[in-house]
Chain A
Amino acid sequence: MIGRIGREPVAAIVAVFAAAGLALILIYPLFSVLQEAVISEQGGFDVSPVTRVLSNPVSRQILVNTLVMGMLAGILSTVLGFAFALATARASRGPLRAGLHFVALLPLIAPPFALALSTIFLFGRNGLVTKQLFGLEISPYGLSGLLFVQTITFFPVAYLIFDALVRQLDPALEEAALNLGASRARILRTVTLPLLRPAFAGSFLIIFVESLADLANPLLIGGDFNVLASSVYLAIIGEFDTRKAVGFAVVLLVPSLIAFFAQRLWVGEGNVVTVTGKPSTGRVGLLEPTLRVPLLAVTLFVGVIVVSLYAAVIAGAFTKLLGINNTVTLDNFRFVLQGIGTRAMTDTTILSAIAAPIAGISGLLVAWLVVRTRIGGRVVFDYLLMLGAAAPGIVLGLGILLAFNHPPLRLSGQTALFGGAIVFIIAFVLRTAPVSLRGNVAALSQIDPSLEQASANLGAGQVTTLRRITVPLLRRSLLSGVIFSFTRNMTTLSTVALLVTPSWRIMTSQILNEIDAQRLGSGAAYSTILIVIVLIAIVGLQRAFGRAAIEVAA
């Protein structure tokens, strides 16, 4: 062990920093939640916050609601994502294919409220489509509206998983089946689908976790359909009842972690697909029209909905009240920018921009530690950091709040250091470093270790090799990690909803306030500004640091 550390001094230093960092910003907050859940105010052992959730019929219904929502959202999004992957890979070519691909990625850059907001504009009680066009009087509030919004929000995640895998499938397999006399539809059923089976499981589990963690949509469009994430939020914000919030948080944490780590263990990386792993070079034929036509019909219909939802956000921002008073106006923007909107814009952008490179680089260093060094217990870092992605944002936010709002480490609140800015950065890094980690682990696994061995062989020490060889080779995944982190930081609500103070304004939180106050137009204007900032950042970073496709970041 001593010999190893002597041999890998840099790895040892990185490991020590990673361990200290994880202990401080991850383990301590999660521990604070658990402590609050099992230790009573008198200091005795008391698990009543958790048992109360499970015994009370109302809160038990909330648990059931949450699981139902997660499973249905997981199934619907996975099926839709698969349909899009199939449509782009086997049912379309040229501009149509490019269009479907674009539409399937579009929801990724939406702030959490934007789609729910435009759903209300288009399909609400006074919806442009439902009321004005068809004269229908339906309410989007509740499970069905929630599922609609979540499916549109999360199907791109499934699409990316399937798209990557379908592209990796060896065309020779399909050619072999074709050569043996199978039809395209039969090949799909007997060759392609079985090979993709792990992807269905993986996609479902990932979206299940995302759905459970979603705070914005349940608050906005859930109506009376309460779920655990929104219950945690309301317990703190509405009732100032920490122990109640902690009870919900622990109950929410359990299925999230089980699903997340089941996905990691079961599907994992590397054994996702049992094929060559080489990108396909051969051309694969299109499906027969009997399958192709309905597939294109469904995906194009969804595509139209996605585009209309985006259009509705922008239209909503530029009208008095879309659907009721369609007068074109700049009032919404004026209201936002003259109010605290400008503050929120700069505050959120500054905090996101500080956290993004930290998250990107931490992810890269831990990836290096895990993949390339022989430091003992390196896999533990991988799993620990992934907890940041596995735990729902609201639970992490609650943990950070509980851990850092009192001595010895008072970092949150107006009177803390930098007006409490540090807790936002902790929250952002915790949430997005795992994504950088995964991206860099994947990229590093693709890089032949002999390159770094060659560097050592030529006399370079670990620092030189890391700086001159490893990091330059990983610049694309590093950039993707940074772009993803910035985008996610700008658009997240759940992680920071509980941390907001008057000294630091967060845009998503302001959007929530506007919508709460029934100022849907201002909410739309905020969302539009947020989308524009995110797009500028993505394009700007890519211009500045080279090409990394949006899809990589996503």
Chain B
Amino acid sequence: MSGFLVLQGLRKRFPNGTVAIDGVDLEVAEGELVALLGPSGCGKTTTLRCIAGFEDPDAGSITLDGRRIDTLPPNRRGATMVFQGYALFPHLSVFENVGYGLRVRRVGGVALRERVEAALTLVGLAGYGDRRPQQLSGGQQQRVALARALVLEPSLLLFDEPLSNLDAKLREQLRLELRALQQRVRITSVYVTHDQAEAMTLADRVAVMDRGHIAQLGTPRQIYDEPVNRFVADFVGRANFVRGVVRERSDDSVVVDVLGATRRASRAPGPLAEGAEVDVMIRPEEVHVVSSDTDGTVPAVVRRASFVGASVVYQLQCAGVEIIAIAPLERGAALAADGARVGLRMRDGALRAFPTAAEPHTP
């Protein structure tokens, strides 16, 4: 993979002593969209602001298209940003906002008008040029911010949680639009978000960040199906963690005793000795609740079954631990009663084993 944007050993400590990023390495290919995903304080925004030039990293380098940019001032980096609060200039019209960067580059007259109109059309806001930003809805403001960044045809687009100020429905819609647009213009992008659904919908690859470094970088499928550690497994999607013991092991899988049964599980990197305790993860949608007399199931008791519309969430007690299961409910079918005895079916490939965390905790 050719690194169009390359971050190497990026470190940043704030004056108050907190270490924001602690050795970030990342390569983004040309035309690729990489999402930086993580909880607040993980360093994703600091990484983005280092690329934009609003923070000076203490160590490391940033290369864009073969050129060192971390020594350049923010206005010479050619990486335009869509800000979290959009940062639209309130004293300028939509047209002037979008044309701002072009004017700075001494583009004027017909060329300016054509390029601004084209950018506004691209984001579906043709004819809105004369309005003030304050007269637009949140979604429209977001599009203006996008047009303002796109119109300069940057070599790199930066997104700082651009959808976080919108309501859930609009966010979902814009997420899809943004993906379609990025696919069309193919501008290399780095997208910061704490919303895993957003990251997975939009990104070619996702970098999950934890306490100042990248815990895992991979396609959405990879980080969901093959998390490298408990943090990633827990942050991306929901997960049950139960204790198990390793019976047999091979290079890519282990056989574990878990919940009173013996199952094959894929294995995360790290030492997993035979006979050792491991944390076994299973996603709630991989736990199938069936009748208790089904062969090959694990017995469990329903603590509570909650109907949440598209699915049913079961809180189950199984071999002394609590398990969450999520399953679709056929229209008209009855919910399992609280206290009912049921069987749990778990596919071999659905389990994943991790080296035991020093401080075990139940999800």
Contact = CB atoms under 8 A, between A and B. Distances in A.
A459 B104 contact: yes
Contacts of B85: 448, 450
A273 interface: no
A471 to B, nearest CB: 10
Q: Which 5 A-B pairs have the closest CB atoms?
A: A458-B101, A454-B87, A450-B87, A456-B74, A459-B104
Interface in B25-81: 52-54, 73-77, 79-81
Contacts of A176: none
A473 B89 CA distance: 9
Give the bracket for the number of chain A residues in contact with chain B: 10 to 19
Given A450-B84, A454-B81, A460 B73 contact: no
B313 to A, nearest CB: 34
Given A456-B75, A458-B101, A448 B87 contact: yes
Q: Which of A450, A461, A472 has the most CB of B within 10 A?
A: A450
Given A454-B81, A454-B148, 18 more contacts: A448-B85, A450-B85, A453-B81, A453-B87, A454-B83, A456-B73, A456-B74, A457-B74, A457-B79, A457-B80, A458-B101, A458-B148, A458-B149, A459-B75, A459-B101, A459-B104, A460-B100, A460-B101
A4 to B, nearest CB: 9
A35 to B, nearest CB: 39
Contacts of A458: 75, 80, 100-101, 104, 148-149, 152
Interface string A468-482: 110011000000000
A453 B90 contact: no
Contact of B73 (A7, A448, A454, A473): A7
A67 to B, nearest CB: 41
A124 B74 CA distance: 67
Given A460-B100, A469-B89, A453 B74 contact: yes
A464 interface: yes
Contacts of B184: none
A548 to B, nearest CB: 15
B105 interface: yes
A40 to B, nearest CB: 48
Interface residues of B, number: 26
A7 B54 CA distance: 11
A24 interface: no
6 contacts: A454-B89, A459-B104, A459-B152, A460-B75, A461-B73, A473-B90
Contacts of A469: 89
B54 A453 contact: yes
Interface of B: 52-54, 73-77, 79-81, 83-85, 87-91, 100-101, 104-105, 148-149, 152
Interface in A6-23: 7
B83 A472 contact: no
Contacts of B75: 456-461
Contact of B83 (A453, A459, A468): A453
Nearest to A461: B75
A173 interface: no
Contacts of A453: 52, 54, 74, 81, 83, 87
A456 B90 CA distance: 16
Contacts of B90: 451, 473
A69 B89 CA distance: 49
Given A7-B73, A464-B104, A457 B81 contact: yes
A132 interface: no
Contacts of B87: 448, 450-451, 453-454
Nearest to A469: B89
Contacts of A472: 91
Contacts of B105: 459
A458 B152 CA distance: 8
Nearest to A8: B73
Contacts of B74: 453, 456-457
A308 interface: no
A397 B17 CA distance: 46
- Interface-centre pick from B77, B81, B84 (highest chain A CB count, 10 A): B81
A457 B104 contact: no
A455 interface: yes
A547 to B, nearest CB: 14
A48 B325 CA distance: 89
Contacts of A451: 87, 89-90
Nearest to B160: A450
A456 B73 CA distance: 9
Nearest to A455: B100
Contacts of B73: 7, 456, 461
A472 B81 CA distance: 22
Nearest to A475: B91
B113 to A, nearest CB: 18
Contacts of A473: 89-91
A306 B345 CA distance: 86
A460 to B, nearest CB: 5
Interface in A431-466: 448, 450-451, 453-461, 464
Contacts of B104: 458-460, 464
Contacts of A7: 73
A169 B105 CA distance: 45
A309 B116 CA distance: 60
A448 B89 CA distance: 10
Contacts of B91: 472-473
Contacts of B53: 456-457
B127 to A, nearest CB: 23
